[in-house]
Structure 1
Amino acid sequence: MFDWLQNFADWLIYTVFAIPANSRLGESLNFFVFDTLKIFILLFIITTIMGIVNAYFPVEKIRNYLSRNKLYGLEYIFASSFGVITPFCSCSSVPLFIGFVKGGIPLGITFTYLITAPLVNEVAIAIFAGAFGFKVTALYVITGIVLGIIGGFTLGKLKLEKHLTPWVQNIIANAHTEEVLEVEHISLKKRFPGILKEALNIVKNVSIYIIIGIGIGGAMHGFLPTGFFEHYINKGQWYAVPLAVIMGVPMYSNAAGVIPVIQVLVAKGIPLGTAIAFMMGVIGLSLPEAMLLKKVMNWKLIAIYFGTIAFFMILSGYLFNIIL
C-alpha cells in the first residue's frame, strides 16, 4: 500500500543525499522520512472521516441523551465508542469529564469515556495502522473499547461519588440541564470544507509530537544496539508488562509522540503486548492528568482510578503477548 512512499524515501536518502543504505544514519533517516509521510497521510484521511462522524453527533446532544435515557448497560458501549471519535489526550479529556458529570451522567459512564478517549481516537488509529497494520490496529481498538467499558463499569459499581471534590459536587447540585437546540440540518457538501479545515488543524496541532516521536524512533532504529531492551524487558520476565505500565505513567505524551517509539521497541525485540502496555501507560495515565483530576477528585479516588486502569492495562498487555 505504501511501497511508493518507501521508494521515495529510498530515493531521497540513498540517491539524492547519497547516504549509504547500510549505514546507521541512512537507516535512521530513511525510517524518519517514510514513517513521517505515511503517518501524516493516514492521520489526515482518518481525521477527516472522524470529522464527518463528529459533525453529526454534537457533544452536547450526546451528553444530554446519556443523562436522560436509561439504556440498560448500552450507555457504557455508547460512551466508550464516543471516546473513540473524540481526539483528546488524557489531560484534554478532563474538561469534558467535568461537563459530563455536570450534565448528570453517572460517574461510571463518565469514567468509561475518560479511559477510552486518550487510548483510542483517530490519531491513535491512524498512527497505529501505519506502524503495525490494520489487523493489529483492529485488535487494539477493540481492546481499548473493552478496557473503557470494563474499567468504567467497575469504577461505577464502587459508588465513588463521595470522593468528588466539593467544587464538583456544588456544580452537580446547582446544575440545570439546558435544552440543546436541534442542529440545523446542513448538507455534507457545505460542512465538508469546515471538516477538512478541522482535520488540517488536528494534523497541525499534533505534528510536532509526530516529528519528535518519529525522530526519536528513527534514532533508536538506526543507533540502538540490537538486544538492548531484550536485556531488561522480554517475554520471559513475568514482571515485564507491569514494569512497562509503571514506566509509562511518568512519561506524558499523546499517541502521535509515543507510537513511533513503540514501533521501534517492537522491532528491537520487545513483545508487542509489553510495548502496547507501555504505550497505554504513557497516553492513558499520566502525572499531568493526575494534577488536573485533583480539581475534580480527591487523592483517594485518583489512586483508585489509576490503580484500576493500570490493572486492566497490564491484563491487556499479557493478552496481546498471548494472542500476537
Structure 2
Amino acid sequence: MSIWYPLEQFADWMAFQVFSLGETTRMGEAVRFFVYDTLKIFILLFTIALIMGVINEYFPVEKVRQYLTARRWYGADYLIAALFGTITPFCSCSSVPLFIGFVRGGIPLGVTLAFLISSPLVDTVVIAMLLGVFGAKVTLIYVISGILAAVVAGYLLGKMKLEKYLSPWALKATNTLIHGAQNQEQVRFSVRFTRAFNETMNIVRSVGLYVFIGVGVGAVIHGFVPVDFFETYLNVNNLIAVPVAVVVAVPLYANAAGILPIAQVLVDKGIPLGVVLAFMMAAVGLSIPSAIMLKKAMTGRLIAIFYGTITASIIILGYVYTWIFS
C-alpha cells in the first residue's frame, strides 16, 4: 500500500462523494487531481523544507563564505557552493545580498555564480516536489545532474574573468553578512528549530499561491486537454522539442511549486520526460524577474552571459535526460 493511499481515498471522497462528480467525467478527474496533488505537495514541501531549514541553521551563508575564503580549494569550492545552493531556498532571501556578500567577501565570481545556478534549480522546493511527482530515481538523477551543471557552468564562467562586468554599485558595495552576527555554536537546538520552523512556514506561505495555481492548471490540462495536443509538437522524434520547451518556459515566471504539477500532467499526456524536465528547469531557472533583480549587481552583458550559459546547460541536460529516460 502506498504511503499516499489515505490521500488518494480522501481525494476520491471529495471529488466523487462531496462534489458528486462522476468517476469517468473530465471534471471529476480534474477535481480529484487537484485535491490529491495539492495535499501531497504541501506535505512534502513542509517536511523537506523543515529538514533543510534545520541544516541551514548549522551552515548559514556567512559561515560558508568564511569557510570558502579561508583556504585554497583547487576547484572544490565550486562543488561546495553548488551543494550549499541546494539547502538555501532562493526565494527566501534576496539574491543581491547573497551575490554581493559572496563576491565582496573574496569568493571568486565563478563560485558565486555556481551557487546562483544551483539554488533555483535544485533547491528545497524542487527536491520535495520532484519526489512527490516523479519519485526517487528521477529526483536523484535530476539533483546530481543539476549540481554538476552548476559546477561546470560556474567553473567556465569563472575562467572567463567576468568580474569587470559587475555593476558599479556591486563593485563599491560593502559586504553583506547574513546570519553572521550570532555565535551559532551557542544557540540552543530549540531556538534553531523554531527559526527553521518559522522559515519553513514563510516558504510554504510564499509558494502556496503558486501551488494552487500550478495544480489548478495541471488539473485543467489533466482533465480536459487531449493527449495528442502536446504529442503533436513535443514528441520524442522532434529534435527541436527540447529547445522549444526551454524557450516556451522562459516567460512563464514560475517556481517549482507552480510548474511541477504542470510537468506531471505533460508527462501523463505523453511528452518525453527529458523534454518536460528541461521545460521545468527553464521555468524555474531563467525567470525574467530574477534577471531584472540581478541587474542591480550585474551589467547587462554579464546577465546575458550568465543566462546564456544556463540556457545552454539546460538544453544539453534536456537531451541527456531524454536519452536516459527513453
Q: TM-score, structure 2 length as denominator?
A: 0.94
Match of 1:281 in 2: 282
Distance in 1 (alpha carbons) for counterparts of 2:87 and 2:176: 27
Distance in 2 (alpha carbons) for counterparts of 1:212 and 1:292: 23
Question: Is contact 1:102-1:175 (8 Å) kept?
Answer: yes
Distance in 1 (alpha carbons) for counterparts of 2:277 and 2:127: 13
Query: In 2 relative to 1, CA 114–176 (structure 1 residues): closer, same or farther, beyond 3 Å?
Result: closer
Correspondent of 1:80 among 64, 79, 82? 82
Question: Is contact 1:210-1:256 (8 Å) kept?
Answer: yes
Distance in 1 (alpha carbons) for counterparts of 2:177 and 2:70: 10
Question: Is contact 1:91-1:292 (8 Å) kept?
Answer: no
Deviation at 1:69, TM superposition (A): 2.0
Deviations 1:156-187 (CA, angstroms, capped at 9, x unpaired): 0111111111221223xx65999866324233
Mapping of residues 240-279 of structure 1, within 5 Å: 240-279=241-280
Query: In 2 relative to 1, CA 132–204 (structure 1 residues): closer, same or farther, beyond 3 Å?
Result: same
Aligned length: 322
Distance in 2 (alpha carbons) for counterparts of 1:176 and 1:207: 29
Distance in 2 (alpha carbons) for counterparts of 1:80 and 1:118: 11
Correspondent of 2:12 among 4, 7, 10? 10
Deviation at 1:110, TM superposition (A): 0.4
Correspondent of 1:143 among 130, 142, 145? 145
Deviations 1:177-205 (CA, angstroms, capped at 9, x unpaired): 99866324233244323322322221122
For residue 229 of structure 1, give the secondary structure of its aligned residue in structure 2.
Answer: helix
For residue 90 of structure 2, give the secondary structure of its aligned residue in structure 1.
Answer: coil
Distance in 1 (alpha carbons) for counterparts of 2:282 and 2:71: 33
Query: In 2 relative to 1, CA 188–225 (structure 1 residues): closer, same or farther, beyond 3 Å?
Result: same
Q: Percent identity?
A: 52
Correspondent of 1:121 among 123, 133, 153? 123
Greater shift, 107-116 or 93-102, is seen at 93-102
Distance in 2 (alpha carbons) for counterparts of 1:74 and 1:170: 28
Structure 2 counterpart of 1:164, one-letter code:
L
Deviation at 1:320, TM superposition (A): 0.7
Distance in 2 (alpha carbons) for counterparts of 1:138 and 1:108: 25
Correspondent of 1:39 among 35, 38, 41? 41
Deviation at 1:119, TM superposition (A): 0.6
Asked whether 1:214 is paired with 2:215, we answer: yes
Distance in 1 (alpha carbons) for counterparts of 2:242 and 2:250: 13
Structure 1 counterpart of 2:16, one-letter code:
Y
Match of 2:66 in 1: 64
Question: Is contact 2:98-2:176 (8 Å) kept?
Answer: no
Asked whether 1:320 is paired with 2:321, we answer: yes
Deviation at 1:221, TM superposition (A): 0.4
Structure 2 counterpart of 1:135, one-letter code:
K
Unaligned runs of 5+ in 1: none
Q: TM-score, structure 1 length as denominator?
A: 0.94
Query: In 2 relative to 1, CA 315–302 (structure 1 residues): closer, same or farther, beyond 3 Å?
Result: same
Structure 2 counterpart of 1:211, one-letter code:
F
Distance in 1 (alpha carbons) for counterparts of 2:191 and 2:94: 29
Match of 1:227 in 2: 228
Structure 2 counterpart of 1:151, one-letter code:
A
Correspondent of 2:27 among 20, 25, 28? 25
Structure 2 counterpart of 1:21, one-letter code:
E
Question: Is contact 1:165-1:296 (8 Å) kept?
Answer: yes
Deviations 1:35-66 (CA, angstroms, capped at 9, x unpaired): 00001111111011101101111211111221
Structure 1 counterpart of 2:133, one-letter code:
A
Query: In 2 relative to 1, CA 264–308 (structure 1 residues): closer, same or farther, beyond 3 Å?
Result: same
Question: Is contact 2:101-2:175 (8 Å) kept?
Answer: no
Match of 1:99 in 2: 101
Structure 1 counterpart of 2:308, one-letter code:
G
Deviation at 1:290, TM superposition (A): 1.9
Structure 2 counterpart of 1:250, one-letter code:
P
Question: Is contact 2:96-2:296 (8 Å) kept?
Answer: no
Query: In 2 relative to 1, CA 92–230 (structure 1 residues): closer, same or farther, beyond 3 Å?
Result: farther
Query: In 2 relative to 1, CA 61–82 (structure 1 residues): closer, same or farther, beyond 3 Å?
Result: same
Deviations 1:77-100 (CA, angstroms, capped at 9, x unpaired): 110011000111499434311221
Match of 2:201 in 1: 200
Deviations 1:226-267 (CA, angstroms, capped at 9, x unpaired): 111111111111111011111111111111111111111111
For residue 233 of structure 2, give the secondary structure of its aligned residue in structure 1.
Answer: coil
Query: In 2 relative to 1, CA 198–68 (structure 1 residues): closer, same or farther, beyond 3 Å?
Result: same
Question: Is contact 2:267-2:276 (8 Å) kept?
Answer: yes
Correspondent of 1:161 among 120, 139, 163? 163
Correspondent of 1:109 among 108, 111, 120? 111
